[in-house]
């Protein structure tokens, strides 16, 4: 059964907007979720938000794609329904601070990197686990991950698919601040967003435009390349083995086939 999406927005007196979403305990990606998030960003911006907090309610911020679900592209499709929406998340003038509880995995890590800043806890965990599943990165992580943490560290995470936790994520620049208490995560993210919102909004928009103005177009190009690679690799025996091993909670046996 497909989890129902619950999404809530609020805007406080300090011009900080908050978008809270929940799609089951794992917050699996779907095109509908991303459309709702992009619409919420647009709505809060139009209502005067100067910074926005993105928070995934439930056990995890986002555990990536649900390979047992229906929200996947048909064979031979030109692109994924999810990838059609992704550039909208980067087409905004208002900075977004993501509050990352639990896991940000695969495409969920890509969603976390769509934000300008990331607040996590020591227990938060991150994984670009695509190669462990038998295919290559998506959600434009081929662009956004090395752009954030550098090519060498991005290569490490993408090649190995290993999981890192909050302390290492802070050390390598994957997240910007840590809080010791998970219960205070959302408060910490809102506090940081309030610091941004206290600056001149036209100046912040101009600064962000200079820093990130071409990012949405670059994301479109990266998504096209990612999709080409993923489409090919999803036809392989290694991909079938990777997904089966993940479902069966065992180590995959890849054969380069």
- Find out whether 32 and 85 touch, Cβ atoms under 8 Å: no
Taking the whole predicted model, whether its pTM rises above 0.75 is answered as yes
pLDDT value at residue 79: 73
- Domains of the chain with bracketed CATH: 1-181+201-257 (3.90.226.10)
Confidence check: pLDDT of 30 > 90? yes
135-149 average pLDDT score = 97
- How far apart, in Å, are the Cα atoms of 117 and each of 7, 84, 106, 236? 21, 23, 18, 36
In 3D, which of 113, 122, 98 has the Cα closest to residue 193?
A: 98
Cα dihedral across residues 109, 112, 114, 116: positive or negative: negative
pLDDT value at residue 66: 83
- Higher-pLDDT residue of 70 and 216 is 216
Cα dihedral across residues 179, 181, 185, 188: positive or negative: negative
Confidence check: pLDDT of 7 > 90? yes
The tens digit of pLDDT for each residue in 178-199 reads 998 888 999 999 999 999 999 9
pLDDT bin (cut points 50, 70, 90) of residue 253 is very high
**Both tokens assigned to 232:** 């090919």
73: CB partners within 8 A, 6+ apart: 79, 80, 81
pLDDT value at residue 80: 83
- Give the integer Cα–Cα distance in Å for 201 and 211: 15
Average pLDDT value over all residues in the chain: 94
Confidence check: pLDDT of 237 > 60? yes
Confidence check: pLDDT of 75 > 80? no
Confidence check: pLDDT of 68 > 80? no
Measured N-to-C along each axis, helices 107-114 and 81-90 cross at an angle, to the nearest 10 degrees, of 20
| Three-state secondary structure call for residue 21 | strand
- Give the integer Cα–Cα distance in Å for 71 and 54: 22
Confidence check: pLDDT of 74 > 60? no
The tens digit of pLDDT for each residue in 80-138 reads 889 999 999 999 999 999 999 999 999 999 999 999 999 999 999 999 999 999 999 99
- Find out whether 142 and 110 touch, Cβ atoms under 8 Å: no
229-249 average pLDDT score = 96
């Amino acid at each position: 059964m497909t989890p129902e999406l619950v999404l809530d927005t609020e805007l406080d007196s300090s011009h900080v907007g908050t978008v809270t979403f929940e799609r089951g305990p794992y917050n699996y990606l779907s095109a509908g979720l991303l459309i709702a998030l992009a619409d919420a960003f647009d709505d809060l911006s139009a209502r005067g938000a100067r910074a926005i907090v993105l928070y995934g309610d439930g056990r995890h911020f986002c555990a990536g794609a649900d390979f047992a679900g229906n929200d996947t592209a048909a064979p031979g499709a030109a692109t994924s329904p999810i990838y059609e929406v992704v550039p909208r998340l980067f087409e905004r003038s208002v900075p977004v601070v993501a509050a990352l509880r639990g896991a940000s995995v695969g495409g969920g890590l890509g969603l976390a990197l769509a934000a300008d800043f990331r607040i996590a806890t020591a227990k938060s965990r991150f994984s670009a686990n695509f190669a462990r599943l038998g295919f290559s990165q998506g959600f434009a992580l081929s662009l956004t991950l090395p752009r954030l943490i550098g090519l060498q560290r991005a290569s490490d995470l993408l090649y190995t698919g290993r999981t890192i936790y909050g302390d290492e994520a802070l050390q390598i620049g994957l997240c910007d601040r840590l809080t010791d208490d998970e219960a205070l995560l959302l408060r910490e993210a809102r506090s940081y967003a309030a610091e941004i919102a206290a600056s001149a909004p036209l100046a912040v928009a101009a600064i962000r435009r200079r820093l990130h103005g071409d990012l949405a177009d670059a994301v479109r190009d990266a998504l096209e390349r990612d999709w080409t690679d993923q489409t090919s690799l999803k036809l392989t025996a290694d991909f079938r083995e990777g997904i089966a091993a993940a479902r069966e909670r065992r180590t995959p046996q890849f054969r380069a086939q």
